[in-house]
Amino acid sequence: MFSNLFKKKEKNNEILAVVDGQLMSLEHSEDEVFKDKMMGDGFFIKPESEKIYSPVSGTISSFFPTKHAFTILSDNNVDILIHIGRNTVELEGRPFDINLVEGQKIKAGELIGTVNFKEIIEAGKGTEVYVLFPELTEINNFSIEDEKQLLHGEVVVKFKY
């Protein structure tokens, strides 16, 4: 009768594509920090559009002043780090038209802003858009389909934790 009372309840999570493009696993990253999952597990997308969308509904928990990265605390209590580009912190926010505020509520699939990827390429930086789970150590059944073409808003991965 009480066998399920003290079991940890797993939560279902869906993560949506943040940008149109090609889905890639972290093992294909040219940056060792991402490749070795030092910032958490996840995936990246090689962008084919300049528009960036929210992968989940939740609250902005941090937003870097250089606008290249932000963290969302999902409504299911999962931290998700969106990191736009490789070494783009050095561009001091110039290619990013993203205006978020810590504490701001956002919906899954909501347009967050735009990125001038041409400017990033001209600066010799990488354009990958990383979606990472820095605090999650146990993701059950987490896998992605490498090199799959995506449109923003498509479900990239479903997982339980």
Superfamily, domain 12-160: Glucose Permease (Domain IIA) (2.70.70.10)
Check if the beta carbon of residue 62 is closer than 8 Å to that of residue 70: yes
Q: Could you tell me the sign of the dihedral formed by the alpha carbons of 18, 22, 23, 27, in that order?
A: negative
pTM comes to: 0.89
Options 28, 68, 83, 152, the catalytic residue: 83
Q: Based on the residue annotation, tell me whether 83 is a catalytic residue of this protein.
A: yes
Residue that the structure tokens 């299911």 belong to: 76
Q: Quick one: what percent of the chain has pLDDT higher than 90? A: 75
Res. 16 pLDDT band, cuts 50 70 90 = very high
Question: Token pair for residue 121?
Answer: 């390429």
Beta bridge partners of 70: 63, 82
Q: For the stretch 68-107, what's the b/e string if a residue is b when 16 or more beta carbons lie within 10 angstroms of its beta carbon?
A: bbbbbbbeeebbbbbbbbbebbebeeebbebebeeeeebe
pLDDT band at 43 (very low <50, low <70, confident <90, very high): very high
